[in-house]
Structure 1
Amino acid sequence: MSSLYSFPNVHQAYHAHVYYDADTEAEADVIYQTASASSLPIDLGRFHRKCVGPHPKWSFQIAFDKNAFDEVMAWLEDHRGDLTVFLHGVTGDDYVDHTDHVGWLGKSVALRLDIFKPKS
């Protein structure tokens, strides 16, 4: 199935990371609570008030599968406001997932990729 977004729906699973900081935490919390109360077919991760993994900003994760892709992407676009959302496929290769299988809603930011070891 093709997507309405420049990021193609070609993976079995996805993670979307909503980025925020101290100045936008309240806006992110509204998105988090709204997602939590929604009927979206998602798994909602923790609301981190620190940088986690390769993410250079505070974030929370929304996990979903390819069948929910269009619905979740449309929901994120409608609810993210000015916040950036980093999207990546989940294939089992973290380095490739965070470098080659990526998309952005909003302004992209550099990830801390040195935590990953590329698979040979």
Structure 2
Amino acid sequence: MLPAGFPREFDAHFYFDLSSKERAEELLQRAIEEFRDQKVFVGQLIPEAIGPHPTPMFEINFPKSLFTDVVVWLMHERKGLSILVG
């Protein structure tokens, strides 16, 4: 859950399955490290489909001011995972 008052302007959902769970866990940890000093919220790994999401996932939330930085990082670091940015 997002901290109170966090600007939910954009989010990115990282989708994985059993065969790519380890990559997702590694990417989640790398995102925490990469964005630790920025206004980026990295959520927890959700190991099952939830809500409208068809597979397990985790998400990060970020403000419009960081859109380019975050999306470029995602493009380079996703390691084959499907990502939905919205």
Give me the TM-score of the superposition, normalised by structure 2. 0.84
Partner residue in 2 for 1:46: 44
CA RMSD, aligned part only?
1.3
Which secondary structure state, in structure 2, belongs to the residue aligned with residue 85 of structure 1?
strand
C-alpha distance in structure 2 between counterparts of 1:83 and 1:46, whole Å: 16
C-alpha distance in structure 2 between counterparts of 1:45 and 1:53, whole Å: 15
Q: What stretches of structure 2 of length at least 5 have no aligned partner? A: 1-7
Partner residue in 2 for 1:79: 77
Is the counterpart of residue 34 in structure 1 residue 30 in structure 2?
yes
Larger relative contact order, structure 1 or 2 (CA cutoff 8 Å, min sep 6): 2
Partner residue in 2 for 1:64: 62
Which secondary structure state, in structure 1, belongs to the residue aligned with residue 47 of structure 2?
coil
Choose 1 or 2 for highest CA Rg. Answer: 1
Aligned length: 77
C-alpha distance in structure 2 between counterparts of 1:41 and 1:25, whole Å: 26
Greater per-residue helix proportion: 2
Partner residue in 2 for 1:105: none
| 1:32-87 deviation line (CA, Å, top 9, x unaligned) | 00001123531011101001110001100100010000000001001101110011
Which secondary structure state, in structure 2, belongs to the residue aligned with residue 62 of structure 1?
strand
Note the C-alpha offset of 1:23: 0.5
